[in-house]
């Protein structure tokens, strides 16, 4: 009698684990014919309050230890690059690790589209070891994925396309408006509610962000608003001023609500401390701890993976940990090479080691770092 290949058993266990998790929480799972390699194994339709929603994703499921990497897991893209990146339904990759009986996930469509914006093609989908999918993380997972699906409907579809053109990502609460001038150049007005100014993204400036305020757009003494070699014409100025006027009431309301939240702790960057000074101070303290405590980075990573992380932080880790070179930079960091680290490496190092930074005043001694692992003797 013919035996059943071990790989098939693990693959079946992987699909069953994913199906069981979603169905246990009332989401609808439809399995795709396993005889055809279309790059997807399941359709999942999300539900809410006992009712199905219109939010659907495809899932590619992989099972086994062969997908494991030093910093997580990796799923090969192979011939599925175009369908995963440009299809009408987003595709997720989920890996089942039989050693831990755990599921780990990544948004394949988001990774491929992000890489294409940067002129690259990904050969694999990187999955962070922090991106665990289980009953405790499912609600956050569903919220994040449904938000991503929503980006491709209605006005959010336009905003998503504008963001891809400009190489930025807009939050759902951001106000985004666009204008096409007589030269077919695209201008994007991007305002975070609660802020006085806004960001101008202009195709003729290669989408380099420009900070604008109503005052900077006002013609005084014949001065014409300009950014580098670009001079805004009257129609562009009038459009930007109209955008400010249309969003001013909502922005003021958001600012007043933020002020009314109260100060639980004096967090954030103080106005009198420059970003470069603060960054240099934080990295000096990081280096001091790394030198004093060998293995600190590895221990911090383990602690972080046992914590429940926010959706925003999980997205950051998904992107950063999917690049082996960035992970290598972090694991090999030392005072002798920290100046050569990429921005991505520095960001990942801070995520691993620092929980948050509290700034209570303009002086350096008012900066307090809350570490992922408390300093010895300060637990």
**pLDDT above 70 coverage of the chain, percent:** 82
Q: How far is CA 322 from CA 40, 306, 329, in A?
A: 21, 19, 13
A 10 A CB-CB count for 296 gives 18
Per-residue model confidence (pLDDT) at position 147? 87
The per-residue pLDDT for 141 is: 93
User: Is the whole model's pTM more than 0.75, yes or no?
Assistant: no
Q: What is the pLDDT of residues 27-63, one digit of tens each?
A: 999 988 754 556 688 999 999 988 888 889 999 999 9
Q: Helix, strand or coil for residue 85?
A: helix
Count of CA atoms in the C-beta half-sphere (13 A) of 9:
5
Q: What is the pLDDT of residue 202?
A: 92
Cα separation, 238 vs 178, in Å, equals 13
Q: How many whole angstroms separate alpha carbon 42 and alpha carbon 18?
A: 9
Closest CA to 149 of 46, 80, 62, 22: 46
Query: Where are the domain boundaries for CATH 3.40.1350.10 in the chain?
Result: 6-150
Identify which of 104, 184, 164, 175 has the alpha carbon closest to the alpha carbon of residue 137: 104
Question: How do 51-63 and 91-97 pair as beta strands?
Answer: parallel
| pLDDT score, position 45 | 93
Any idea what the Cα angle at residue 31 is, between residues 27 and 35, rounded to 5°? 165
- CA 112 – CA 33 distance, rounded (Å): 25
The CA-atom distances, in angstroms, between 67 and each of 104, 191, 319 are: 11, 41, 18
Task: Give the model confidence (pLDDT) of 97-106 as tens digits.
Answer: 999 899 999 9
What is 6-150's CATH topology? Trna Endonuclease; Chain: A, domain 1 (3.40.1350)
What are the tens digits of pLDDT across the range 349-375?
888 988 877 765 444 455 678 888 888
Instruction: Let me know: does 200 contact 187? Beta carbons within 8 Å.
Output: yes
Map tokens 């300060």 to a residue.
Answer: 378
> Which residues of the chain carry a pLDDT beneath 50?
1-5, 35, 220-222, 261-275, 361-364
The secondary structure element, H or E, covering residue 175 is: strand 175-180
């Amino acid at each position: 009698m013919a035996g059943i290949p071990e790989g098939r058993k693990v693959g079946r266990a992987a699909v069953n684990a994913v199906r069981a998790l979603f169905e246990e929480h009332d989401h609808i799972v439809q399995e795709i014919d396993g005889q055809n390699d279309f790059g997807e194994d399941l359709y999942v339709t999300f539900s809410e309050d006992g009712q199905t929603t219109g939010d659907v994703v495809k899932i590619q499921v992989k099972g086994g230890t062969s997908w494991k990497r030093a910093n997580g897991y990796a799923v090969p893209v192979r011939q599925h690059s175009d369908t995963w990146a440009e299809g009408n339904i987003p595709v997720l990759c989920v890996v089942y690790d039989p050693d831990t009986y755990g599921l780990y996930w990544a948004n394949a469509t988001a990774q491929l589209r992000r890489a294409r914006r940067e002129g690259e093609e990904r050969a694999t989908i990187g999955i962070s070891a922090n991106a665990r999918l289980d009953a405790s993380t499912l609600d956050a997972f569903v919220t994040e994925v449904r938000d991503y699906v929503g980006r491709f409907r209605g006005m959010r579809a336009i905003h998503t396309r504008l963001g891809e053109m400009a190489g930025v990502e807009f939050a759902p609460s951001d106000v985004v408006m666009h204008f096409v001038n007589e030269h077919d150049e695209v201008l994007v007005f991007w305002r975070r509610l609660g802020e006085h100014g806004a960001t101008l993204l202009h195709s003729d400036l290669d989408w380099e962000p420009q900070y604008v305020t109503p005052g900077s757009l006002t013609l005084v003494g014949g001065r014409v608003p300009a950014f580098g070699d670009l001079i805004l014409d009257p129609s562009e100025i009038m459009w930007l001023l109209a955008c400010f006027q249309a969003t001013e009431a909502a922005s003021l309301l958001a600012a007043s609500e933020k002020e009314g939240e109260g100060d639980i702790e004096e967090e954030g960057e103080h106005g009198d401390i420059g970003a470069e000074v603060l960054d240099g101070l934080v990295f000096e303290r990081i280096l001091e701890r790394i030198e004093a405590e060998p293995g600190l980075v590895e221990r911090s990573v383990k602690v972080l993976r046992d914590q429940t992380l926010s959706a925003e932080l999980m997205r950051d880790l998904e992107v950063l940990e999917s690049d082996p070179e960035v992970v290598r930079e972090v694991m090999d960091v030392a005072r002798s090479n920290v100046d050569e680290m990429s921005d991505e490496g520095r960001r990942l190092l801070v995520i691993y080691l620092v929980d948050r930074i509290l700034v209570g005043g303009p002086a350096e001694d008012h900066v307090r770092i809350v570490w992922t692992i408390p300093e010895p003797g300060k637990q």
